[in-house]
Structure 1
């Protein structure tokens, strides 16, 4: 219990990395971790409406996210997706590319002259936040409101973990949900700042001079079934999750990517050579094959969202075991991506695996960095382009090295972060 309270990742027993299913018994009801690919497809792909998102996890994020698409279920969620999905269609990714590239260049420029040990997570958080502001609201992070939102999110990030005892050993529904001191106030501050940004954009839309970015697209898209658009409070909810999902997850993945490349300098040199030859245009992204596989492999070993929780709406039978109505179903990329029966060398860093038949098969059966099925992450395609562009922008000019064999310890906050940060030495790369 002490381990669970301190960090849910380090509390996992080794046998879960080869188990197809595990049962967690509590005084109130039971939770089930499933690693069986067939069961995962049943829950996420075949019958998603029978396994809605569990509000035992959502309750911890509701002060910030309200009724965002990340937390809702049923008809409300379906309506939200009908309005949001068009903003992330393939053609829109090309439109977002200049903002991503500009944030990568700005992040690299801020490192100019650096030859010292740097805490990487702080740097990647800054760059990832810049991407969100540039692509969502067409403003750089240097904008005053953008800076305030970023600083408030930085405080919130470690104050309210997305994973806690509720995932595995939840109490009854009437049990009060406690938040750390300041968490609710920080959430109110963030939402007030987002409200100001959204009001300003609505005014621009009314005047006909709004930039054609993600915020404008989402605010002006109508539900094809009802003809309605998002209200101001609804849009604030969605912007909050875009920032949380787009900023937090990207910052986590980018930081762990740089750590792994520092740990494996041969792979870093190959990715850097690709970056040096890249023409820095959207069409040229296909040239960054090694960089893309490095990012894929990072998402395998350090999935930003390590666990997802669904709830059974009726009695089920999983692997000849009865699952009661109301039981929590835990799907864990953290375990699935390192499962010893599903991956060759599951704990090893090998970007080359993604070009092998075995690696591709494992990727189809046991790879969930963005979930799957109808509730797959809206921004999955955006995130893959972002990760590759930001890595290339940094590796083109800088070299990252491990300092004093410091080994970061992953812990679950809002995303998978390092307990005491990731410290790397950054030097200008020699051509």
Structure 2
């Protein structure tokens, strides 16, 4: 019997009008793209306002992200869509501001800190299993449960608070409202609006973002008081708020810390929730793999960081999920000087789109690009593509500082849930991936949950 192919959004025709493209883009940027991008090394898009180039050739991706990142700063148009929530966070800044922010943030995510934060991740995984135990025998919307688990990890590791804490729960609910109202890119990504013109944010988006920032401000000020009193817990918030820039000696102000916590919540909660939900769906779609991971998960006994070395299959499945459903499907850079890529002139100020979505499924790079195959990471093709065409956390200087964190959190929670529960497909059509803040399902992901006999 042929294995099922994981769901993929439809592609639009190669030629559509700018008006049609804008309408498709606003609805979902994945299905707004033509199918040829899964084969092209480079593609040019022209609008009356700017030119955009999607680049899939590994050498070009390496040039933009790794070799010359300062020549290709993050496009301000992407930041426009997230500015109400993220302010001036490390996700949207460039140049010296970004460098200063990373000098303060990066020490909190160094390798040794993963061992320190592991108990909080373990407790969040146990709490997620307890919540699902109460739902056993039912059909569950698994994206909601994955969001709950990922938010719990963030609050426990960042502020030493479980998701049940009042401020944590209120922030989580406000973020869910924001996620539903805000696409990853808005009209500002297509049309360069003058600075004086109001940005096209809906009232719900503005209201949710303002509410989230007020809650984060309360958490940050409370932690600052604990630090001043000398009784703050040794978690990520304390580490970041007490780290001084080695060049200036400054620490983050309260406003700056609010900006950074907002992106930690976005990157650490929204992206992890997206990948965990798709991983559980894939386990329901491929029950043989689910059983293999459940057997491996028997190694989970007591809270011990060393157990992660035994979750090799879970790590392969999580990596394959990141390949098929990268949480951030597109990254946009802007070239600061005239370039020539693949014998084409690229004007200064053009947008350069690096698309993990298309790169991870590129037909000229990967064997079986649309197939679910966690074993691929141990093949010659898989190892080569992991090096040259796998960028779920970006790459180079702007690689996500929490990449190592995510690769512990995801396989741990996935294994912990599969150890105790079986996930089966619910009746109805397969979920179709669409891009909101991250790659989510068009109608949620419903799975049946049963307790597993151990």
TM-score (norm 1): 0.98
Question: What do residues 7-66 of structure 1 show as CA deviations (whole Å, max 9, x unaligned)?
Answer: 111121111001000000001220000001000000000110011011101011111111
Is residue 214 of structure 1 aligned with residue 236 of structure 2? yes
Q: Counterparts of 1:53-72 in structure 2 under 5 Å?
A: 53-72=74-93
| Contact 1:4–1:165 (8 Å) recurs in 2 | no
Match of 1:42 among 45, 63, 68: 63
- Tell me, in whole angstroms, the C-alpha distance in 2 between the residues paired with 1:122 and 1:74: 37
Question: What do residues 231-264 of structure 1 show as CA deviations (whole Å, max 9, x unaligned)?
Answer: 1100000000000100000000000000011000
Counterpart residue number, 2:419: 396
Counterpart residue number, 1:233: 255
Counterpart residue number, 1:80: 101
Counterpart residue number, 1:297: 320
Counterpart residue number, 1:90: 111
| Contact 1:275–1:393 (8 Å) recurs in 2 | yes
- Tell me, in whole angstroms, the C-alpha distance in 1 between the residues paired with 2:402 and 2:281: 24
Counterpart residue number, 2:334: 311
- Tell me, in whole angstroms, the C-alpha distance in 2 between the residues paired with 1:285 and 1:65: 32
Counterpart residue number, 2:212: 190
Is residue 379 of structure 1 aligned with residue 396 of structure 2? no
Q: Secondary structure at the match of 2:81?
A: coil
- Tell me, in whole angstroms, the C-alpha distance in 1 between the residues paired with 2:453 and 2:301: 19
Counterpart residue number, 1:338: 361
Is residue 179 of structure 1 aligned with residue 197 of structure 2? no
- Tell me, in whole angstroms, the C-alpha distance in 2 between the residues paired with 1:283 and 1:381: 15
Runs (5+) with no aligned partner, structure 2: 1-19
Q: Secondary structure at the match of 1:154?
A: helix
How far has the Cα of 1:180 moved from its partner?
1.6
- Tell me, in whole angstroms, the C-alpha distance in 2 between the residues paired with 1:38 and 1:234: 36
| Contact 1:278–1:288 (8 Å) recurs in 2 | no
Q: Secondary structure at the match of 2:328?
A: coil
Question: What do residues 299-358 of structure 1 show as CA deviations (whole Å, max 9, x unaligned)?
Answer: 000000000000111111010001111101100000000000010000000001011121
Match of 1:407 among 417, 423, 430: 430
- Tell me, in whole angstroms, the C-alpha distance in 2 between the residues paired with 1:417 and 1:362: 24
| Contact 1:262–1:401 (8 Å) recurs in 2 | yes
Match of 1:419 among 442, 446, 451: 442
Counterpart residue number, 1:364: 387
Q: Secondary structure at the match of 2:203?
A: coil
| Contact 1:219–1:235 (8 Å) recurs in 2 | yes
Is residue 157 of structure 1 aligned with residue 193 of structure 2? no
- Tell me, in whole angstroms, the C-alpha distance in 1 between the residues paired with 2:387 and 2:397: 16
| Contact 1:315–1:325 (8 Å) recurs in 2 | yes
Counterpart residue number, 1:349: 372
- Tell me, in whole angstroms, the C-alpha distance in 1 between the residues paired with 2:202 and 2:407: 33
How far has the Cα of 1:392 moved from its partner?
1.1
Counterpart residue number, 1:199: 221
| Contact 2:54–2:353 (8 Å) recurs in 1 | yes
Is residue 430 of structure 1 aligned with residue 445 of structure 2? no
| Contact 2:187–2:200 (8 Å) recurs in 1 | no
CA root-mean-square deviation: 1.1
193-202 or 353-362, which deviates more: 353-362
Q: Secondary structure at the match of 2:148?
A: helix
- Tell me, in whole angstroms, the C-alpha distance in 2 between the residues paired with 1:385 and 1:3: 36
- Tell me, in whole angstroms, the C-alpha distance in 2 between the residues paired with 1:277 and 1:139: 27
TM-score (norm 2): 0.93
| Contact 2:66–2:395 (8 Å) recurs in 1 | yes
Q: Secondary structure at the match of 2:365?
A: coil
How far has the Cα of 1:406 moved from its partner?
3.0
Q: Counterparts of 1:9-48 in structure 2 under 5 Å?
A: 9-48=30-69
How far has the Cα of 1:5 moved from its partner?
2.3
Evaluate the alpha carbon distance shift between residue 173 and residue 344 of structure 1 in structure 2; reply closer, same or farther with a 3 A threshold.
Answer: farther
